[in-house]
Structures are given as structure tokens and as C-alpha cells.
């Protein structure tokens, strides 16, 4: 229980609250299927950067990836057709750790174009425990499939199909 409390406090401090330095709001959810499993942050945002595509948002072409990302078409009930990209990258050891010990992290990114808008919905989950990410895949897919967009104040955004 202390580990869970510590994790929740860490994520609240790291991701909680409004950050005026961000160009858009990032909402973080924690995937915790049981108290014995570490929390997996799942971050979601809508980015309206000029020229942004779903391929760019999903980092389909990532020069830092160990191998080319696995890219799949992904359909969500409300968000429509998008892509899901899974990639593996090396990370450097934390200060105080053996500098020769590099690890691998896995990132799963979902990206959906918002029809008739210059915006992309992006959902990202990243972890260094590859088994944890594999086990979370069905839940992540289900979570993304159930997502919808809302206007400030909670009014649902209606996504008209792209022309």
C-alpha cells in the first residue's frame, strides 16, 4: 500500500494541475489493474499545431527507435479511424546508476484526426516494463475506444465525418 501511495503522489506532482507553459491541456489517467501492479500513466491531449498529421503525432518515423515502430490502423467508436504505433527506444541510466546500464522503454501512441479541424487527438502510454505494457494493451485499446471529446463545461463535441 505504501508503494501505491508513493506512486500516486509522484504522478500527482508530475502530471497534476494546469500548466500555463503548455500550449494545450494534457490529461493524465493512471492504469492500475490491481494494487500489486505499478501505475501506468496514460496521457491524452488534442493538438492543433499547423500541419500536424496523425503519423507525426504517433511518431511513426522515430529516428531514436531501436527498430521501426509497429503501426496499425485503429478504429475508435467516437474518434473514428486512426493509427496505433508501438515503438521501443533506449533510455539512459538515472544519475547514480551504472552509466553502462541502458534500458529499453516501450511507448504506445494512438492518434486520430479531428474531422474538419486542424487538430489531432493523441493518447500515449509509456513504460520501462515491457511485460506491463503487453498486459495493459487490451485495457488501453478499450480505453481509447471509449474516448470522446467534450467542450469546456462538459458538452459533448460532435465529430462530423471528414468530407
- Is there a domain that residue 150 lies in? no
Q: Is the pLDDT of residue 163 over 50?
A: no
pLDDT digits (tens, 9 = 90+) for 27-83: 888 888 888 888 899 999 888 888 899 999 999 998 888 889 999 999 999 889 999
Q: What is the pLDDT of residue 136?
A: 95
Phi, psi of 154 (to 5 degrees): 95, 0
CATH number at residue 87: 3.40.1000
Q: What is the pLDDT of residue 24?
A: 58
For residue 97, give the DSSP letter: S
Q: Which domain holds residue 64?
A: 2-145
Distance CA 144, CA 122 (A): 10
- Is there a domain that residue 105 lies in? yes
- Is there a domain that residue 159 lies in? no
pLDDT digits (tens, 9 = 90+) for 85-125: 999 988 776 677 676 667 788 999 999 998 777 889 999 99
* Per-position b or e across 90-110, b if 16+ CB within 10 A of its CB: eeeeeeeeeeeeeeebbbbbb
Least confident of 5-14, 18-27, 35-44, 120-129: 18-27
E strand spans, 17-146: 26-31, 40-47, 70-76, 80-91, 103-113, 120-127
In the chain, the number of structural domains is: 1
- Is there a domain that residue 139 lies in? yes
Amino acid at each position: 500500500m505504501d508503494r501505491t501511495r508513493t506512486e500516486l503522489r509522484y504522478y500527482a506532482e508530475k502530471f497534476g494541475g494546469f500548466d500555463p507553459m503548455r500550449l494545450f491541456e494534457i490529461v493524465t489517467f493512471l492504469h492500475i489493474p490491481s494494487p500489486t501492479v505499478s501505475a501506468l500513466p496514460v496521457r491524452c491531449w488534442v493538438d492543433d499545431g499547423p500541419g500536424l498529421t496523425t503519423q507525426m503525432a504517433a511518431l511513426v518515423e522515430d529516428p531514436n527507435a531501436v527498430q521501426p515502430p509497429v503501426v496499425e490502423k485503429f478504429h475508435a467508436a467516437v474518434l473514428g479511424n486512426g493509427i496505433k504505433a508501438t515503438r521501443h527506444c533506449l533510455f539512459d541510466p538515472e544519475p547514480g546508476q551504472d552509466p553502462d546500464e541502458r534500458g529499453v522503454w516501450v511507448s504506445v501512441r494512438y492518434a486520430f484526426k479531428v474531422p474538419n479541424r486542424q487538430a489531432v487527438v493523441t493518447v500515449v502510454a509509456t513504460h520501462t516494463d515491457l511485460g506491463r505494457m503487453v498486459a495493459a494493451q487490451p485495457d488501453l485499446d478499450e480505453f481509447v475506444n471509449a474516448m470522446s471529446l467534450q467542450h469546456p463545461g462538459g458538452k459533448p463535441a460532435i465529430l462530423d465525418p471528414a468530407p
